[in-house]
């Protein structure tokens, strides 16, 4: 392709709102299509709640010419709750039944199964051309962590992970969808040596670091509030945003 063709293709890129104006601002509009957006953080920081919120906000057309569309949800941790989408739909004045009907759900049981499901995802995106706008994987690493737990299996794990991620990149570009993945954290063994402020880091190593276009870290703040920080992005500054987890999904913090 010429740079001009690439530029034309990138004109089709759209952003999906997170439900929080501050977080959208941090992301220069929201979760971007033709890219992989990764959020990571400790337990209860809101990764799954944000995933549920995006299931609904993806269906809302906006003033930038985005028409809304369907969502594919790949669940590896068994934490998807369809009924959680109901109060979020209410908040945006959407019909609950229609909202649930537009989310296609699949549960992966092993890392191999997770990889295979991407064939199904691609087939579905092809079959219903242009209808799907978002692919969520909550979480990307959980099954890899279980299936490749030994030290000696790390190289093998990273190779399989690389295949899954390049598949995700291809899907995001070919079908112009946003890919949203969640990730876990682990203690960084090198942290004490390098005097890092935050001794925890996302898992998945360099393979995941390079595959994700935008990486966002989440941490807890007071009460229902959470703080999102841009960890790595090709075109966004390293700043922070505060949002809240409410019954109506991710929203703006009250103060």
Q: Taking CB under 6 A as the rule, does residue 47 contact ligand ATP?
A: yes
Question: Applying CB under 6 A, which of residues 246, 250, 251, 253 lies at the interface with ligand ATP?
Answer: 246
Q: How far is the CB of 11 from Mg ion (least distance, A)?
A: 34
Question: Applying CB under 5 A, which of residues 48, 176, 183, 184 lies at the interface with Mg ion?
Answer: 48
> Closest CB to ligand ATP among 18 and 176?
18
Q: In this structure, are residues 226 and 39 in contact, taking their beta carbons and an 8 Å threshold?
A: no
Q: Which residues, 6 or more positions from 31, have their beta carbon under 8 angstroms from its beta carbon?
A: 15, 16, 18, 37, 54, 134, 178, 180
- CA-closest candidate to residue 176, choices 124, 129, 107: 129
Compute the distance between CA of residue 187 and CA of residue 190 in angstroms, rounded to an integer.
Answer: 9
Question: Applying CB under 6 A, which of residues 19, 46, 69, 204 lies at the interface with ligand ATP?
Answer: 46
Q: Give, as ranges, the residues between 90 and 149 that touch Mg ion (CB under 5 A).
A: none
Rg (CA), the chain: 18
In the list Mg ion, ligand ATP, none, the entry touching 44 (Cβ below 5 to 8 angstroms by class) is ligand ATP
Q: Lay out the site mask for ligand ATP across 48-67 (x = CB under 6 A, - = otherwise).
A: xx------------------
Q: Summarize as ranges the residues that interact with ligand ATP (CB under 6 A).
A: 41, 43-49, 79, 245-247
């Amino acid at each position: 392709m010429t740079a001009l063709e690439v530029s034309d293709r990138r004109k089709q890129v759209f952003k999906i709102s997170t439900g929080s104006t501050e977080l959208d601002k941090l992301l220069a509009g929201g979760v971007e299509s033709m890219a992989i957006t990764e959020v990571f953080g400790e337990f209860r920081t809101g990764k799954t709640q944000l995933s549920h919120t995006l299931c609904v906000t993806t269906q809302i057309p906006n003033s930038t010419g985005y028409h809304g569309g369907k969502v594919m949800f790949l669940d590896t941790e068994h934490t998807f709750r369809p009924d959680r989408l109901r109060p979020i739909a209410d908040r945006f004045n959407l019909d609950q039944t229609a909202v649930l009907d537009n989310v296609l759900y699949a549960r992966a049981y092993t890392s191999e199964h997770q990889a295979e499901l991407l064939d199904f995802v691609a087939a579905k995106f092809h079959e219903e051309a242009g209808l799907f706008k978002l692919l969520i994987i909550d979480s990307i690493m959980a099954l890899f962590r279980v299936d490749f737990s030994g030290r000696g299996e790390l190289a093998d794990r990273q190779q399989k992970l690389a295949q899954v991620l390049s598949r995700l990149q291809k899907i995001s570009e070919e079908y112009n969808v946003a890919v949203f993945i969640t990730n876990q954290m682990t203690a960084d063994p090198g942290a004490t040596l390098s005097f890092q402020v935050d001794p925890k880091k996302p898992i998945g190593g360099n393979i995941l670091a390079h595959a994700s276009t935008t990486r966002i870290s989440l941490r807890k703040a007071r009460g229902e509030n959470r703080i999102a920080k841009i960890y790595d992005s090709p075109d966004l500054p390293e700043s922070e945003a505060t949002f809240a987890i409410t019954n109506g999904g991710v929203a703006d913090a009250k103060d």
